[in-house]
Amino acid sequence: TIMPAETVPIIREGWEVLVRQLGIQKATRFVILLERGKGDTIQEIEQYWGNAGMEEIYGRVTAWKAGAK
């Protein structure tokens, strides 16, 4: 499948964030799990985040990380 040119920078940025936050091994495992889990995993993610926008997701993750320290 050929991706539209505008999706490449977003994918690259997402990968960089995953690697920075999780490390290369966990980021790779995460992506593989998503690819394998086209069914239930994707549904669970959609149920968890609902219609939340990127800013809301970022805020929730940031708040969670601040509380985890």
Query: What is the rounded average pLDDT of the residues 23-49?
Result: 76
pLDDT at residue 39 is higher than 70: no
User: Which H/E stretch holds residue 67?
Assistant: helix 54-68
34, 41 Cβ separation under 8 angstroms: yes
pTM across the whole model: 0.49
pLDDT for 2-23, tens place per residue? 767 888 888 889 899 999 999 8
Chain-centroid distance of CA 1 in Å reads: 21
